[in-house]
Amino acid sequence: MARPLRIGIQLPEVERDVRWPEYVAMAQAAELGGFDSIWVGDHLLYRGDGLHERGPWEAWTLLAGLAAVTERATLGPLVACAGFHDPGMLAKLAATVDEISGGRLIFGIGAGWNHAEFDAFGFPYDHRVSRFEEAFAIVRPLLAGERVTFDGSYWHAHDLVLLPEPARRVPIMAGSNSPRMLSILLPHADAWNTWYDDYGNSAEGFSELNSTITDAARAAGREPLDIARSACVLVALEGATQDRPYDKEAPPVTGSPDRIAQHLLGLAEAGADEAIIVVSPITVESITALGEVLALIDV
């Protein structure tokens, strides 16, 4: 019997300093344990939230490395910030990672939100959605193998093409819940993802939010079932610390493997096609332990 939903894992971002050999070990443990997808956040710097300054490794470089040391799981940014790169360059990065991975990239994309990193790295934060709309109008056709000329208020492309030509049209995952962003993304997206605190980390909350996505898909002229639904899920295992703060309205899933498995199955019943686990603590040992949860779901 096929698993009722895909299960992914997010690798560490800023919970602690993690070096490349540990990322390799985690990704390979995830594949060995049966995870369907592996994700990394696309951020540059965190500050000003009451915690010490911290920042992750650059996402696209990390994804390229992970693509080379894994064989089966899909890979993707959760989600790529369109404001960190010229749109042509962003499409080039995505096409290259998809090539290295042998066609395993899922291109999650959004407009970004962390003002501090935009300021620190010198990226404009104003008119983020308008800038995103123009960037997406360049990125999307490029990843579909098209040639693009675009003259906007913020971004420009002149007879732009990706060469070598991408081996396939890279699938796009919408990483936003805002009505305007959804109106831009859903006419073209293959999937949609939401973070756990946007739906309260519960099956009931996901069902409610998911219904708004169904409505937005119809408004965008899409058949709702053509857009896969993806939910991040905060899970705390024994020994978890406050390395990833959470809102009291979205507490982590805790307890036995069976309880965690039942929570994930509840998300599937609520309409999720994929559950991406954000686990605390995030270690090789945690990823290995979650293999027991996946085995229960496979039964």
pLDDT of amino acid 244: 61
Sign of CA dihedral 3, 276, 111, 141: negative
pLDDT of amino acid 286: 96
Confidence (pTM): 0.95
**CA dist list (Å): 8 to 2, 11, 38, 229, 257:** 16, 10, 6, 13, 16
pLDDT of amino acid 1: 47
Angle at 88 between CA 86 and CA 89, to 5 degrees: 65
Low-confidence ranges of the chain (pLDDT < 50): 1
Element (H, E) at 203: helix 203-219
pLDDT of amino acid 250: 85
**pLDDT tens per residue across span 226-278:** 999 999 999 999 866 656 666 677 899 999 999 999 999 999 999 999 999 99
**DSSP assignment letter at 225:** G
